[in-house]
Structure 1
């Protein structure tokens, strides 16, 4: 069994339920305010750890009460190796505005994530080996993300890149990515193509070995360097809040690959886990529990052992 190594951001999520997004210059009243640990890197690492996978997570936080809160939350998650670099900035946070239909818009502050240096990234990835899954997001600087991907690739690890948020050009990194996971909007921004199948194929032409485009209620689709397209329908649910669904998908998918499951099974489990997240409000508070994830993996194992075919790739 391989490990999941996550290099990313860790912060606090401030959540507010809003009837709609505010207009320019408008003050809009919301309700249901909440606060919880968050950040794409943190959410993905926690979700992966809750599957039972061996997880290593490195991130940067501030020397403040918020940083202490983040560290305390992570200490109880069973992460195999946790290293939080303290940097001279206020701890990162995100404001999540959640609409009545469950969709969300997010604004983030990321000074700590941006302070994670190239040297830190290289040292992190230098511990990888064949069989490991290295998972990164777009919160760090381009230089640090590139350094981690390059080092992990040189050591034979499988690199998985979730480029959100898109605040720098991801193109130069794609040839170092075994798998890229992006939603429909992110894929369009990167490739200029609005049709998801075409965008997935374009991501592979730009260098990624495999592209996965998540489509919310539409499931997801995949493309590989040979041009083969795969479609994976999503479970039919009533979504309450889609915040955190992408992070759940990435964390569970990476964990399943590290455990030796094939891509098809990993995607199906990741989508089922994301569906659980969509049925709860918040991001960190909506991540599936260890028991919920254990039930999902047990169901797949039962199907595989029962007829030898279900869930095979």
Structure 2
């Protein structure tokens, strides 16, 4: 039972690292970035290419993965999202256009990875990361699993405090509430949007390389597979809620682990999502979302 608890904690940590950036950009910028899965995958893929030529320490590879993920998201904003926002005045149409554009942009890194790997799993070169197993009582833990769980919790707590307490965090919440007024009050929406997307991409890159280290290898389609799970976490917890993303991720992770242990595993996804639907029927806005108030 303790081993399954550890599995659920690690799986939930992966979901948090993946979904946190998606929730932040969707909840504050109204950008549903469907290229997030491709960023997750390609950050790890970049590290795979690097280790094929050079031997680098794993902490440096983590930094590279985060920089690659952040740069990809920032490039998407500069090349695609800004152009759409400047040309499409209707907010709803702009959101739809950015969603479709991000879906198209995701095919580029995905196609590159599929072509270079022949759509086969890829991993870090031997010696780039060493898995170490240690025990707490009778419970076996790995260094990568522990890192995933700790970093997920640290990121959630740090981001929640930053959004609530810092000047830029308050500016980001104001941007989510009223972008036009923010511009009149001296807030630079373009710079804040770029920072938010860079952070979202960096967390995706962090999750990508940690998952590759944890599993041993991933495939070019890994990010797309996790995208549906990330949507479930974000919607369950409440779009834009940092604590909600954490709660949604662990509700999904524990549901999946329990279903895998108690059944054959065939219906794990179906039953897990049925539980999520049941929760949303009771609380449609998500576990941590608050009602919005329009002031006139």
Structure with the larger helix share: 2
TM-score surpassing 0.5? Answer: no
* TM-score, reference length from structure 2: 0.29
Instruction: Say which structure, 1 or 2, has more relative contact order (CA 8 Å, 6+ apart).
Output: 2
Larger radius of gyration: 2
